[in-house]
Chain A
Amino acid sequence: MTTTKEWPDAVIKQITDSIAYNAPTRTLSTLLPFDSIKFGKDCIELHNSIIKTLYKDEKMKLGDRIVGASTATHTILKNQGLAGDLKIISFLTAEGKNATGNATANKLKESVGDYVKKYYSGSGVSIFGVSALDGYHSMLLTYRLTSDKKSEFMLIDQGPATSLISGKVIFSTSQALDDALSEYVRGRKDKRTGGNYEYPANISLYKIYPKASK
């Protein structure tokens, strides 16, 4: 079950401080003429690292993928009561039919932004783990109301493909967030799995809860 449990506002600074050097380092390392060497964390490593920062537990065991396996970060957190259910939002094709895979996925069937808002209590920060294409990409999403009561979504990953050198992108509306996620999936329509199948066309997300105070 997903509920309205939020984090204190201070986590935004904690998160942005913890990712400050990752995307620039990652971007610089793409300029090196060696494929084997990459500095900075990749998407799931960064996702897990932020969660460890949030819980102030560097030794916390998390998954090697965000969703879709018993060893996934979502499953591990959910088993400890630290995450809600996985919400899977599928895609429509350009013709408005259900998309079966990433080759024909065009637009989200439901709004990710509206789902996030639905489980927001009205104060503090909501934090969600977000997966694109069944774990192909892992991101972290925060949602809060600014001091003038406007929506602010922040999508965080390792950069540079999706969030350039800063590692984060801010959206002020659900529509803008949904459009960016749809664009991400549309831009990867030629990607295939190891078995030469299409990736399942979806965005899945789960809410990450603070530990209950003792």
Chain B
Amino acid sequence: MNIIGCAKCILTHGLLATGWIIFFKLFATYSPINIWAEIDSLWLSPSGENLATNLVGELAFHFEATSGEKRVMYTAPYYPDGLDGTTQTKRLSKTIDTASWQKTETETLTTTYSDKQFKYVVYQDSNGIYMRIFNL
């Protein structure tokens, strides 16, 4: 196969793959269930209050809202100076201390967990289910 043939092949398969990704993402966005979370959940084993590990031992936060909506998170934004400051992304497996991990508060919009160093606030609002990490 010459170079042009190879490039055409890569382009065709690339476009097809992109098309499928967009199709599944749109399907997932407008479906009442979170398809990605459902698929992710298949490989998880519970390991604490809303915590689970996947097949390779990566720690995840696994949250299922009472409406049935699910989220599996491996990373979350960390706000070292509060919400108005800078943001870093933290890998939960490197951040959560499972020994001191506990649910500390449930409010209308938020469920808060903490360990010995951080506060993990899980929001349920118009943006869906998401987590923000703050210093204790």
Contacts and interface: CB of A to CB of B under 8 A. Distances in A.
A195 interface: yes
Q: Dominant SS at the B interface? A: mixed
B10 interface: no
Contacts of B25: 30-33
Interface in B69-123: 71-76, 82-84, 106-111, 121-122
Contact of B36 (A35, A158, A161): A35
Given A31-B26, A35-B71, A42-B127, A136 B109 contact: yes
Nearest to B37: A35
Given A30-B25, A192-B66, A197 B108 contact: yes
Interface in A28-84: 30-36, 38, 42-45, 48, 59-65, 68
Interface residues of A, number: 41
A33 B74 CA distance: 14
A193 B106 CA distance: 9
Contacts of B121: 64
Interface residues of B, number: 37
Contacts of A136: 109, 125-126
Contact of A62 (B26, B37, B67, B84): B84
Interface string A85-126: 000000000000000000000000000000000000000000
B76 to A, nearest CB: 8
A196 B66 contact: yes
Given A42-B127, A193-B108, A59 B67 contact: no
B125 A194 contact: no
Contact of A192 (B21, B36, B65, B122): B65
A68 B127 contact: no
A7 to B, nearest CB: 22
B7 interface: no
Contacts of A31: 22, 25-26
B29 interface: yes
23 contacts: A30-B25, A31-B26, A33-B21, A33-B25, A35-B37, A43-B127, A60-B84, A62-B83, A63-B83, A64-B83, A134-B109, A135-B108, A135-B125, A136-B125, A191-B67, A193-B66, A193-B107, A193-B109, A194-B65, A194-B109, A196-B66, A197-B108, A200-B108
